[in-house]
Structure 1
């Protein structure tokens, strides 16, 4: 085995670990953001009119709708690519 061959055989494993860590961290962040948006939409933090927390409920609802729309568009593009 040459040095080039050994280096190239190690690279996919490193990329795989990096990708796994990236996906895991993004999933954790996504879950935390989703819970925060859910609680805001349920009015958990909306008892403070002085701080305009009702506006947070509207913004969170819009963000959830946009996230769902983006997920739908990405999924539709993936399905159409398979055909």
Structure 2
């Protein structure tokens, strides 16, 4: 039994909900960066938001690639 499975059910539900909210926020940030919605707004620090969005996109792609490479594939 792993440590995560030993958590009470309400705690697991809250953790999954928080993870879903965090992934949704990151996904929206990536979408907004790709659409160029932050371009030219110095008052909201658009360069910083764009940089953070690009980092989030790169990290998501990198983590996905690493996880996929570690998984056994039937076609190999």
Report the TM-score, using the length of structure 2 for normalisation. 0.60
- Would you tell me which structure has more helix in proportion to its own residues? 1
User: Match for residue 75 of structure 1?
Assistant: 68
State the structure with more CA Rg: 1
Q: Higher relative contact order by CA 8 Å / sep ≥ 6: 1 or 2?
A: 2
Q: Is the 8 A contact 1:47 1:53 kept in 2?
A: yes
**Unmatched segments (≥5 aa) in structure 2:** none
TM-score, length-scaled by structure 1: 0.56
Instruction: Measure, in 1, the Cα distance between the counterparts of 2:17 and 2:66.
Output: 22
- In the aligned structure 2, how far is the partner of 1:52 from the partner of 1:30? 22
Q: What stretches of structure 1 move > 3 A for 4+ residues in a row?
A: 49-52
Equivalent pairs, count: 68
Provide the secondary structure at the position in 2 that maps to 1:44.
Answer: coil
Alignment equivalent of 2:27, drawn from 34, 53, 78: 34
Distance 1:14 1:56, change over 3 A: closer
CA RMSD of aligned residues (A): 2.9
Q: Secondary structure at the match of 1:40?
A: helix
